Amino acid sequence: MVEPYPDLTAAQREAVLHREGPLLVLAGAGSGKTRVITRRVAHLIETGVPAGHILAITFTNKAAGEMRERISELTGGARVWVSTFHSFCARLLRRYADLAGYKRDYTILDGADQRIAVREATIESALDPKAYPPPKTLYRIERAKDQLLNPAQLLEQAQGAHDQAIARIYDLYQTSLRESSAMDFSDLVMQAVLLLKRDAVREEITERFRFVLIDEYQDTNIAQFQLARLLSLKHGNVCATGDPDQSIYGWRGADVTNILDFEKAFPGAIVVKLEENFRSTGLILAGANGLIRHNRGRHEKDLVTSGPEGTPLEFVPCRDEYEEARLVASRIMAEIRRGVSHEEIAVFYRVGALSRAIEGALSEKGIAYRVVGSVAFYQRREVKDILSYLRLTANPSDDLAAQRVINVPARGVGRGTLEKAKIHASNERTSLFEAARALGNGKRIKNKRTRTGLLRFVEIVDLLRARARSGVTLQELVRDVLCETNYRAFVSENAAHSSEESDRLGNLEALCDGARDFDRRWEGPLLDDEDELHASAPVAPPKPAPRPAKKKQSPKKKQSAKVEGPAAFPLFADHLDAIPAGSTADPVEERREAAPAESGRVEVAEEEEEEEFGPETEHASGISAFLEHTALVSATDESRDQHLPRVSLMTIHAAKGLEFESVYVVAMEDGLFPHSRALEDGEGLEEERRLAYVAITRAKRRLVLTRARNRRHQGRSQSQEMSIFLHEIPPEAFPAGRSPLEQERSYAVGATRTVRPAWEEGIDGPGYDEFNQDDSSQPSWRRAARRQEEEGRGSSRPKTALAQPKRATAGSRADLEEVRRLAQAISRQGGIAEYASGDQIYHEHFGRGKVLAMRGRSSALKIEIEFEDYGTKTLVLQYARMRKLEAEEL
DNA sequence: GCCAAACCACTTTTT
DNA sequence: GTGGTTTGGC
């Protein structure tokens, strides 16, 4: 018999062909995971599973978009529901909002809103925000929600007064969110889990989704794990894919035990391992394998490849961030000249702030680039203001939105009035918005101007609500907001410079454009009628029950509207259809035409299913749909020029799941990568190492690592140590087997002033005795290692509520020895080559020699050496492959 | 109630 | 260099 799918490996085929029951695909980096998932979905559909019964969940919109696109290509346009955890949960909560105790038009809060709400809860608890910093408290609250702990449960396990106070703040915070009918990101998942625990809801949903796929499973937290479990409780058809070595979201509550214990959680699970890498060259893989081997408590596993070894990794030492940026830019330029596409080149950094310098150098050279996931458009002040008016239009209970714009633009409603309104609202158990109305009409506020201001605010929102119901488009509604509030004039008056003014006005225009694009795709009311608000979908008995909600015109029809030109915002592609973001209009059209015919067999079933619960049907109103989009989809996911070839700049986190021919990782320095803040947590170093692993394994053919010796950090310039990861990557992966340390010591490729003249010696060389040093002057990873050692000796600190089998941490004896050894090597050898006459050196070709003299400056720095076997020679230091000999080698 | 100046903490990563 | 919060003067 002929094997099906001869283009797949045996393991890949096994995963694709697997049918019923739980399946875990342990997919190493570049092992064809996406391919397996999409082929598996296609296979299910081909063998008779209606597309509507399949649900695929990812972490990012980008991943969802790509998967949707590829499935669509493979199946001729099958309409599988692919979405992020958060989008899926948001839809589920719309459908069952009343059961969950929220309005259908609930608000999704962003981080800034959350901080404000936490801050207020802190003050309300009579606690000092200085002693309880809102961001820290918020972090605790979110982690609690990630573990499905409600305030009472958090209080129960509180240790000490501080923890109890946090639990109290959580309680107040949650109450205030609920009163505003608002949810934060963690709520979306937590509340969805609570819903799915109800038999009736679960019945209906599991009837709808018989096959569930979850990508990047190693990054799931407890709530997401429960969601997966509940979704597959009935049919057991859950397929998880992931790689423990790529778990990089511990700080967000992700728990690797989910993937490690998959077989326990889903009895009878089949595990398929994909360990053959089809992406990277042998040397890149060797670098990655060698690095990740330094992590303790991991299953030994090496990625293998049968592909070519490729060229060595490049290490580029630089003087400072400007030189680093310039060198990266010129290398990129050279690649582009050689014909490498912009799209195949990426620059990664650990923290977003590092993009600045690179951006500068790239634009100087005229290299087109794109910063992935940068400053969120929807977070801009002017945009948030307008969105707040929309939020109030959809959900007048949204007190955070009301608070934000009750006096924007200024209309005489100051802090005092706001306080009075809040008190009134809490006394009367009403919204801030209604409180504003009451105070405006009442006698309690003496100042006439203030009363007028309040009434004006109320009037604007009332008007917007009326307009929204009267059938205007969203674009018109946004224009109404701008018009009624006179917002443009407000911007102009308040802008400090004309550039700021035009910036902000431009953002407002962009928002209007976004609204226009939304209108193109959305058919249906912007705002439900009042009575329908309360008649949200009841839990129907599983079988027939078409949803009683009013029948919206199928968005599919609307989709045939022309997508205009390449400049059109591909907004909402993820929500309304299977158009890959960035597609040009024509292929999209074709796919739409082609889809029904080719999947005709299952068409009828699909239509019915989608009336029940689908990505297209679960919005309470158009405004909510738009707001949900702004909350869950970052603006860069849909940037208008995605199709233009550009070099990509992004954080390593944002790079997960992507691949590029050429990858540059900048700022490989201690404190930055590994990041000092990440090391505060016990297992931080290991997660940082996984992050480095992710970065390396994104590269297909070329990997360039850079570091700056000095970097301006917060105002002042700081001397930086090399990242420990540069020492951990096997030297064999570098040219001539020379580690970055060796390379830096003896010569510097193209780095003009990295090699400092001998007379500057001793200014900032390390050379300290590490054991007598004050902690603060040591590399942060070394401090972290020491701390881990101390913790390792003491009682183990409970990390999560659920007792998890404790893995060995990096604090183990052998690991610490390793760190010590490296640390000594570094301090002994010094960072950068510094030569003085009389120094003994070793040259790769010429062997031993003695330095006679140094001549010239910077890039032309020459060194005169008397070799033992080759006589006296003058070499250009920059290209001399040699190193200084240490005392014990003499 | 408004506004400007001083002040401060901050920047790890994201839905 | 930032952005948000607090303070004090008008």
Query: What is the per-residue DSSP string for A185-197?
Result: HHHHHHHHHHHHT
Task: Verify if strand C has an atom below 7 Å from the CB of A533.
Answer: no
- What is the per-residue pLDDT for A775? 42
Q: Are A668 and A707 in contact (CB under 8 A)?
A: yes
Confidence category of residue A763, pLDDT binned at 50, 70, 90: very low
How many angstroms separate the CA atoms of A217 and A880, rounded? 48
Instruction: Give the β-pairing of A699-708 and A660-665.
Output: parallel
Contacts of A807 (CB under 8 A, 6+ apart): A296, A297
| Strand B-contacting residues in A 779-838, CB cut-off 7 angstroms | none
At A215, which amino acid appears? D
Looking at per-residue pLDDT, the higher value among A753 and A700 belongs to: A700
A702 or A351: which leads in pLDDT: A702
Q: Residues A69, A37: contact at Cβ < 8 Å?
A: no
Chain segment A7-21, per-residue pLDDT in tens: 889 999 999 999 899
Mean pLDDT of chain A: 77
Strand-strand pairing, A23-27 and A54-58: unpaired
Highest mean pLDDT among A250-264, A554-568, A832-846: A250-264
- Tell me the CA–C1' distance in angstroms for A860 and C1: 36
A762 CB below 7 A from strand C atoms:
no
Report the DSSP beta bridge partners of residue A314.
Answer: A704
**Residue recorded with tokens 């019945």:** A203
Whole-angstrom Cα distance, residue A677 to residue A719? 18
Candidates A9, A14, A34, A547; catalytic one: A34
Residue A42 pLDDT exceeds 70:
yes
Nucleotides of B under 7 A from a protein CB: 1-3, 9-15
Q: How far apart are CA A432 and CA A551, in angstroms?
A: 33
Distance CA A402, CA A314 (A): 54
Segment A621-669, tens digit of pLDDT = 889 999 998 888 866 666 555 677 889 999 999 898 899 999 999 999 9
Categorise residue A675: left if φ over 0, alpha if ψ from -120 to 50, beta otherwise. Answer: beta
- Taken as a whole, chain A contains a residue count of 890
DSSP state of A797: P
Residue ranges of E strands in A139-246: 182-183, 211-214, 238-242
Q: pLDDT digits over A563-612, tens only?
A: 222 222 333 333 333 333 333 333 333 333 333 333 333 333 333 434 46
DSSP A247: -
> What's the CA–C1' distance between A549 and B8, in Å?
52
Parallel, antiparallel, or unpaired for β A710-712 and A314-318? Answer: unpaired
**Mean pLDDT, range A784-801, rounded to an integer:** 44
- Annotated catalytic residue within A698, A702, A709, A711: A698
Contact A165, A52 (CB under 8 A): no
Q: Does at least one atom of strand C sit less than 7 Å from the CB of A129?
A: yes
Q: What's the CA dihedral at A603, A604, A608, A610 to 10 degrees?
A: 10
Least trusted range by pLDDT, from A179-193, A610-624, A649-663: A610-624
Place of tokens 């309680």: A171
Q: Which residue has the tokens 């909002």?
A: A97
SS3 A782: helix
- Euclidean distance between CA atoms A850 and A863, whole angstroms: 10
Catalytic residue list contains A246: yes
pTM score, whole prediction: 0.77
Confirm whether A718 is a catalytic residue: no
Provide the CA A695 distance to its chain's centre, in angstroms: 14
Q: Residue A241 forms beta bridges with which residues? A: A25
Identify the bridge partners of residue A422 per DSSP, sorted by sequence position. Answer: none
pLDDT, tens digit, for every residue of A486-522?
888 888 877 767 777 777 888 888 889 889 988 988 8
- Region of A312 please: left (phi>0), alpha (psi -120 to 50) or beta: beta
Distance A123 CA to C10 C1' (A): 29
Whole-number Å distance between alpha carbons of A580 and A594: 16
Distance A247 CA to B13 C1' (A): 12
Residue A874 dihedral angles phi and psi, to the nearest 5°: -110, 125
- Residues 666-695/A with CB within 7 Å of nucleic chain B are 675-678, 680-681
Q: At what angle do helices A585-598 and A600-612 cross, to 10 degrees?
A: 100
C-alpha separations of A265 from A220, A226, A257, A270 in Å: 14, 10, 10, 12
pLDDT band at A880 (very low <50, low <70, confident <90, very high): low
Residue A327 CA neighbour count, 13 Å, CB half: 27
* Through-space separation of residue A379 CA and nucleotide C3 C1' in angstroms: 13
| Residue A369 pLDDT > 60 | yes
Amino acid at A738: R
The DSSP code for A711 is: E
User: How far from chain centre, in Å, is Cα A499?
Assistant: 30
The pLDDT, as a whole number, for residue A232 is 94
SS3 assignment, position A211: strand
Q: What does DSSP assign to residue A671?
A: B
Helix (H) or strand (E) holding A73: helix A61-75
Residue where the block lists tokens 């961001």: A135
pLDDT at A846: 61
Query: How many beta carbons lie within 10 A of that of residue A308, not counting itself?
Result: 10
Distance CA(A592)–CA(A493), nearest Å, equals: 48
Closest CA relative to residue A186, chosen from A106, A110, A103, A102: A110
Q: How far apart are CA A539 and CA A711, in angstroms?
A: 59
When pLDDT is averaged across residues A133-157 and rounded to a whole number, the result is 91
Measure A355 CA to B13 C1' (Å): 14
Nucleotides of strand C lying closer than 7 angstroms to a protein CB:
1, 4-6
Q: Is the CB of A416 under 7 A from strand C?
A: no
pLDDT tens, residue by residue, A219-265: 999 999 999 999 999 999 999 999 999 999 988 889 999 999 999 99
The CA dihedral of A47, A580, A61, A688, to the nearest 10 degrees, is 90
Alpha-helix runs per DSSP H in A522-645:
530-534, 555-559, 573-576, 585-598, 600-612, 622-632
A714 is catalytic: no
Partners of residue A711 on adjacent β-strands: A718
The reply to whether the CB atom of residue A129 sits less than 7 A from any atom in nucleic acid chain B is: no
Distance CA A846, CA A826 (A): 25
Q: How far apart are CA A195 and CA A329, in angstroms?
A: 51
Span CA (A562) to C1' (C4), Å = 44
Q: Which residue has the higher pLDDT, A841 or A356?
A: A356
- A452 in active site: no
Å: A417 CA to C10 C1': 20
Q: How far apart are CA A678 and CA A696, in angstroms?
A: 19
Closest by CA position to A799, among listed A39, A167, A184, A221: A221
Indicate the pLDDT class of residue A795, thresholds 50, 70 and 90.
very low
List of residues 6+ apart from A614 with CB closer than 8 A: A52, A81
C1’ B3 / CA A499, Å: 23
Strand pairing class (A211-214; A107-108): unpaired
What span, in angstroms and rounded, lies between the C-alpha atoms of A395 and A388?
Answer: 10
Out of A105, A120, A142, A215, the active site residue is A215
**Does A698 qualify as catalytic in the annotation?**
yes
pLDDT at residue A475, as a whole number: 94
Q: Is the pLDDT of residue A824 over 50?
A: no
Contact A151, A163 (CB under 8 A): no
Measuring from the CA of residue A114 to each C1' atom, give the nucleotide at the shortest distance.
B15
Is the CB of A251 less than 7 A from some atom of nucleic acid strand B?
yes
How far apart, in whole angstroms, are the C-alpha atoms of residue A705 and residue A734? 11
Q: Which nucleotide has the least CA–C1' distance to A381?
A: C3
Per-state percent for chain A, helix, strand, coil, to nearest 5: 50, 10, 35
Judged against a pLDDT cut of 90, whether residue A421 lies above it is answered with: no
Q: Is the CB of A653 under 7 A from strand B?
A: yes
Output the six-digit token pair for A397: 């209970």
Q: Is strand B within 7 Å of residue A185 (CB)?
A: yes
A123, closest nucleotide (Cα–C1'): C5
* Residue A816: per-residue pLDDT: 40
Whether A274 contacts A27, CB under 8 Å: yes
β-strand partners of A348: A650, A665
Q: Which of A142, A184, A204, A216 is catalytic?
A: A216
How far apart CA A805 and CA A45 sit, in angstroms, is 39
Q: Point out the nucleotide closest to A139 (alpha carbon to C1′).
A: B14
Q: Measured between alpha carbons, how far is A839 from A827 in angstroms, rounded to an integer?
A: 18
The larger pLDDT score, comparing residue A847 to residue A208, is at: A208
- Say how far apart CA A151 and CA A174 lie, in whole Å: 8
Residue A53 and residue A210: Cα distance in Å, rounded? 5
Confidence of residue A196 (pLDDT cuts 50, 70, 90): very high
